[in-house]
Amino acid sequence: MTELASSATEHRGLTMALFGVFVLATLVITVWAGRQNRSAADFYAGGRGFTGFQNGLAISGDYMSAASFLGIAGAIALSGYDGFLYSIGFLVAWLVALLLIAEPLRNSGRFTMADVLAFRMRQRPVRTAAGVSTIVVSIFYLLAQMVGAGTLVTLLLGVSGDAARRWTVVAVGALMVVYVVIGGMKGTTWVQIVKAVLLIAGAGLMTVLVLAKYHFNPSELLGAAASASGKGEAFLEPGLKYGATNTSKLDFISLGIALVLGTAGLPHILVRFYTVPTAKAARKSVLWAIGIIGVFYLMTLALGFGAAALVGSKEIKAASASGNTAAPQLAEVLGGGAGTTGGAIMLAVISAVAFATILAVVAGLTLASSASFAHDIYANVIRRGRATEKEEVRSAKWAAVVIGAVAIVLSLYADKLNAAALVALAFAVAASANLPTLLYSLFWKRFTTAGAVSSVYAGLITSVVLVVFSPVVSGAKTSLFPDSDFHWFPLENPGLVSIPVGFLAGWIGTLLSRQQPDPAKYAELEVRSLTGLGAH
């Protein structure tokens, strides 16, 4: 048993109590929010009553997943500078959302991404395509979070065995469904806000403690991390993880592009822009999010290098090969080390923060995908727009239950899937299928239904097929099926190919089809998206 697991076992009671407090508090919020939900706008968009600052916190909560908190801190702790490369892509991406997407989406849409995509197109084919892509992106992302949660929570609680991991996945899945079904968007948003505050406070406290050990001199921290890593100054330079071969360099470029272009196409982020009253408030929420997320990623630098210096890569790898437990291990050291009360308290607190992070993100994903099912596929495709608001919201709640169940079952059987690869895949699909279609819909007058349908499906299918035939699935030691080899695509991330395919397909699909765009509808979309006339 590793040192982390044994100290986690000793103080399991405290950790469990903190988990319990968070769950109880968020359930109270959820029930309170649920009692105020009356209309579809309440359920899908939290009554559009949040302020820019509140929504900025909630966006940060939705975005700073366990992958960014634990994953990036761990990646920096083990691979040094290359771990930091992730956070830069994750942050710069927000400018795409700020400049091109947030305000037009808020002005011209109502509840989902498809509202904008289908605005001037034939409703059924475009909504079906957008709904499918929303659900696929969300499920990949959801799987990543839940698979990670199962491993992580068992590790943090110091329990071992498959049974404990499975019960964790089931419990996380059940809680996320409860948040969404009872609390709707209002409840989920408050859960995100609470989580974001906890995460920032926890990371901030650890950052200060790490820097204090090095006289608040970052250069001293870097030096200590470099010498403890055993790799010297190379630890502080790019290349340890991605610099090995030409393929790994291309893989990194592919990942970088997918991160920057994917964020503004993530459905669970897009629906957050509907929770504020105006486009100006949507802009303010992105500005707040950029500030909060930026500061958070700067703190992960201190956490990652701090873990490398103070915990050491041997201890980190002993607890988790991917480095996901670097941050909790660092917390224990900062509190005074294993066996001390301070260490136990810090470990329990940071573990609870990580748990809160996972729960909040999965709730946001479940809400976005069930909203798209109900609003796009059920109400507009199956019922052809004849469903009442009540029926629509009821179907959204059922969809949340079904999506939750599917995610639980898949996570139970997909525990070998690499969480980081799943997240990268979700970003690649969002960048290849959703972003091109959004940009063309908003800014290209000539774009038609055929173009929209081709860019969504081409982007979606290309990304998924390339991943299936990549080393993520077969042909490498870390593959899903390490014993067979049917891969022919060399990169783990499909973005470098699938994003251009998504853009090209939208363009070619438009030019080849005989459909004529409707100039009156485009004029209406343009006026609405820029002025907010007639906005919901």
In the complex, the residues that contact another protein under the rule CB under 8 A are 81, 84-85, 88-89, 91-92, 94-96, 98-100, 108, 110, 115, 119, 122-124, 217-220, 222-223, 226, 233-234, 236-239, 242-243, 249, 252-253, 256-257, 260, 280, 283, 286-287, 290-291, 294, 297-298, 379-380, 384-386, 446, 516, 519-520, 523-524, 526-528, 530-534, 536
**Nearest-approach distance from CB 42 to another protein, in angstroms:** 17
Q: Which residues contact 383 (CB under 8 A, 6 or more apart)?
A: 391
In 3D space, the residue among 338, 314, 339, 358 whose CA is nearest the CA of residue 154 turns out to be 358
Query: Which residue is listed with tokens 């900062």?
Result: 334
Work out how close the CB of 79 gets to another protein at its nearest, in angstroms, rounded to a whole number: 13
Nearest-approach distance from CB 356 to another protein, in angstroms: 26
Rounded to a whole number of angstroms, the minimum distance from the CB of residue 75 to another protein is 14
Least distance in angstroms from the C-beta of 329 to another protein: 23
Are 109 and 116 spatial neighbours (Cβ–Cβ below 8 Å)? Answer: yes
Considering beta carbons, is residue 313 or 325 the nearer one to another protein?
313
Which tokens hold the place of 481? 């099926």
Shortest separation between residue 227's beta carbon and another protein, angstroms: 10
Least distance to another protein, CB of residue 420, Å = 18
| Residues near 413 by beta carbon (within 8 Å), at least 6 away in sequence | none
Residue number with CB closer to another protein (386 or 477): 386
- Smallest separation, CB 432 to another protein (Å): 16
Of 223 and 336, nearer to another protein (C-beta) is 223
Kindly give, in sequence order, each residue whose CB lies less than 8 Å from that of residue 344, ignoring residues fewer than 6 positions away. 7, 10, 11, 14, 332, 335
Q: What is the DSSP letter of 476?
A: S
Q: How far is the CB of 446 from another protein (least distance, A)?
A: 8
Closer residue to another protein, CB minimum distance, 96 or 345: 96
Residue 193 or 286: the one with the smaller Cβ distance to another protein is: 286
From the number of C-beta atoms within 10 Å of its C-beta (0-12, 13-18, 19+), residue 391 rates as: middle
Q: Are 86 and 325 in contact (CB under 8 A)?
A: no
Q: Which residues is 474 bridged to in the sheet?
A: 481
Residue closer to another protein, measured from CB, 83 or 404:
83
How many beta carbons lie within 10 A of that of residue 199, not counting itself? 24
**Shorter beta-carbon distance to another protein: residue 162 or 233:** 233
Task: Select from 289, 297, 267 the least CA-distant residue to 98.
Answer: 289
The smaller minimum CB distance to another protein, of residues 312 and 336, is found at 312
User: Alpha carbon 433 to chain centroid distance?
Assistant: 17
Q: Give, as one character, the DSSP assignment of residue 384.
A: T
In angstroms, the CA 380 to CA 109 distance is: 14
**Of the two residues 415 and 526, which places its CB atom closer to another protein in the complex?**
526
Nearer Cβ to another protein (5/307): 307
3-state secondary structure string across 269-292: HHHHHHHCCCHHHHHHHHHHHHHH
3-state class (DSSP) for residue 474: strand
Burial of residue 246 (number of CB atoms within 10 Å: 0-12, 13-18, 19+): exposed
The answer to whether 76 and 83 are in contact (CB under 8 A) is yes
Cα–Cα distance for residue pair 23/29, rounded to 1 Å: 10
Residue type, 399: A
CB of 327 to another protein, least distance (A): 20
Q: How far is the CB of 292 from another protein (least distance, A)?
A: 12
Q: Look at residues 239, 213, 210, 399 and name the one whose alpha carbon lies nearest to residue 306.
A: 210
Tokens of 10: 């000793």
- The residue (of 255 and 501) whose beta carbon lies closer to another protein is 255
